[in-house]
């Protein structure tokens, strides 16, 4: 693996600073003040999500001819980190929406791009990514949802599990089996909300991510037009995995932003909290903990930017680097948020301070977009095949 890192990764351009600052202002003004309320009420803030599209965040890496912002993965990482300082759950949903749009931008026909992407970029249409099934999580190639060809339609039957935005989204990118067992028999279909035979399970009760719905997507003899097939038959697994490279970077960035917010809260709290006659940030044990938290986040940020640059450049090692960044950053982010809670002591366990919400929201990042154990499998596979 080429270990050289472009010099530009160590200093952002003025445009990149502006993009990050814009996303952070939106997070500070439109997400952070309401995040605890949304979490408590299990409210999906569609209005605020669509406001983000007005800043170009509905199609971050989408080409400009269909309304996208035409940015790179590095800029996307900056955006999702900044958004997650306001609410990791909302930032993560916007990431998933962008992943669906990016799949269509890359693999769609000109007609599909023109039909679907303008509304996805404006977020008039919200997207959902449907790969996981009740009996096939990490072993995604074993999925059982099946589509049979009938004239100029597919008839689809199956159940998708843990689908973010399900029931509220307008377009579902669904991986189904159209051929043989294994990855080569999988096809991607774009299923609009309102399709006959499409329904949803109950909203799941979750540890975190309460500001976005998570439900089963149920297809019972659902009729999907042939023109809604993304790519060719048998390309679905490749499309799904390619989408996950960018999705893993985005989720890593969401962990980074949530953990950065937790660090900022801990810095403010330890500066004002007094014990034994002194501010607790004057104690060396506290200072060392804060120093380790900041160092971990900076190391994670550097690896994330390196992986994003590799994906932008089409580096053959990009998938391995994305797995490294996702594994390291989500583990580090959760650890930093948990350390922040500890610095708050008993107050950290209370909902009012917002740290326990960050801990709950970041925990799932070590599981979704491929568990961190699967990330190790991908990394090891790349090492051993080199």
- The residues carrying an active-site annotation are 369
List, as one string, the DSSP characters of 311-360.
HHHT-TTHHHHHHHHHHHHHHHHHHHHHHHHHHHGGGGGSGGGSHHHHHH
SS3 content of the chain, % helix, strand, coil (to 5): 60, 15, 25
Q: Is 271 helix (H, G, I), strand (E, B) or coil?
A: helix
Residue 359: partners with Cβ closer than 8 Å, 6 or more residues away: 208, 262, 334, 337, 338, 341
Structure tokens at 230: 């993304």
Distance CA 352, CA 347 (A): 8
Distance CA 27, CA 293 (A): 22
Structure tokens at 171: 């377009």
Structure tokens at 299: 């190391």
Q: Output the CA–CA distances (angstroms, integers) from residue 35 to 48, 59, 186, in the order listed.
A: 11, 23, 38
Distance CA 295, CA 291 (A): 6
Distance CA 176, CA 158 (A): 8
Distance CA 348, CA 205 (A): 22
* 157 touches 145 (CB < 8 A): yes
């Amino acid at each position: 693996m080429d270990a050289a890192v472009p010099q530009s990764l160590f200093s952002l351009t003025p445009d990149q600073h502006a993009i990050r600052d814009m996303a952070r202002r939106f997070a500070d003004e439109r997400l952070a003040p309401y995040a605890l309320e949304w979490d408590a009420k299990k409210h999906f803030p569609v209005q605020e999500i669509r406001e983000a599209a007005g800043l170009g965040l509905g199609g971050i890496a989408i080409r400009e001819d269909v309304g996208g912002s035409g940015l790179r993965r590095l800029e996307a990482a900056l955006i999702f980190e900044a958004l997650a300082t306001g609410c990791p759950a909302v930032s993560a949903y916007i990431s998933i929406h962008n992943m669906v749009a990016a799949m269509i931008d890359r693999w769609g026909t000109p007609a599909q791009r023109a039909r679907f992407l303008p509304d996805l970029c404006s977020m008039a249409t919200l997207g959902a990514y449907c790969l996981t099934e009740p009996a096939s999580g990490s072993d995604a190639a074993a999925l059982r949802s099946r589509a049979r060809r009938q004239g100029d339609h597919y008839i689809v039957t199956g159940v998708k599990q843990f689908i973010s935005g399900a029931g509220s989204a307008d377009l579902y990118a669904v991986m189904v089996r159209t051929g043989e067992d294994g990855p080569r028999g999988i096809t991607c279909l774009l299923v609009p909300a309102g399709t006959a035979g499409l329904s949803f399970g109950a909203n799941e009760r979750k540890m975190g991510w309460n500001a976005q719905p998570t439900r089963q997507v149920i297809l019972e003899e659902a009729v999907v037009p042939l023109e809604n097939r993304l790519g060719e038959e048998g390309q679905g697994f490749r499309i799904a995995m390619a989408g996950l490279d960018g999705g893993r970077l985005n989720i890593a960035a969401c962990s980074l932003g949530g953990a950065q917010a937790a660090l900022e809260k801990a810095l403010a709290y330890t500066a004002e909290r007094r014990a034994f006659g002194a501010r607790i940030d004057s104690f060396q044990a506290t200072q060392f903990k804060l120093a380790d938290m900041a160092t971990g986040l900076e190391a994670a940020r550097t690896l994330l930017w390196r992986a994003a640059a590799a994906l932008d450049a089409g580096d053959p090692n990009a998938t391995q680097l994305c797995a490294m960044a996702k594994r390291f950053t989500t583990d580090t982010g959760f650890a930093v948020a948990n350390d922040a809670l500890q610095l708050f002591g008993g107050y950290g366990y209370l909902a009012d301070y917002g740290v326990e919400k960050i801990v709950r929201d970041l925990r799932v990042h070590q599981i979704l977009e491929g568990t961190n154990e699967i990330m190790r499998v991908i990394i090891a596979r790349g090492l051993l095949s080199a």
